[in-house]
Amino acid sequence: APELSPAIAAGEREDETTLRPRNLTEFVGQGRVREQLELVLQAATHRGAPPDHVLLSGPPGLGKTSLAMIIATELGRSLRITSGPALERAGDLAAMLSNLVEGDVLFIDEIHRMARPAEEMLYLAMEDFRVDVVVGKGPGATSIPLEIAPFTLVGATTRSGALTGPLRDRFGFTAHMEFYEPADLEQILRRSSSILGVDLHPDGAAEIAGRSRGTPRIANRLLRRVRDYADVRADGAVTRDIARAALEIYDVDALGLDRLDRAVLTALVRSFGGGPVGVATLAVAVGEEAATVEEVCEPYLVRAGMLARTPRGRVATAAAWSHLGLTPPPEVAG
Ligand code: ADP
> What does the pLDDT look like over 161-218, one tens digit per residue?
889 999 999 999 999 999 999 999 999 999 999 999 999 999 999 999 999 999 999 9
Q: Which residues of the chain have pLDDT under 70?
A: 1-12, 334
> What does the pLDDT look like over 44-83, one tens digit per residue?
999 999 999 999 999 999 999 999 999 999 999 999 999 9
174 conformational bin, left if phi > 0, alpha if psi -120 to 50, beta if neither: beta
Give ipTM to 2 decimals: 0.99
For residue 62, give the ligand 1 atom closest to its CA.
3
- For a substitution probing ligand 1, which of 24, 57, 66 has the most ligand atoms within 8 Å of its CB? 66
The beta strand positions in the chain, using DSSP E, are 54-57, 79-83, 105-109, 130-135, 142-147, 152-157, 173-176, 199-200, 237-238, 307-310, 313-316
What is the enclosing helix (H) or strand (E) of 193? helix 182-196
Q: Does the beta carbon of 213 lie inside 6 Å of ligand 1? A: no
Q: Is 19 annotated as a binding residue?
A: yes
**The pairing of beta strand 79-83 with beta strand 105-109:** parallel
- For a substitution probing ligand 1, which of 16, 20, 158, 300 has the most ligand atoms within 8 Å of its CB? 20
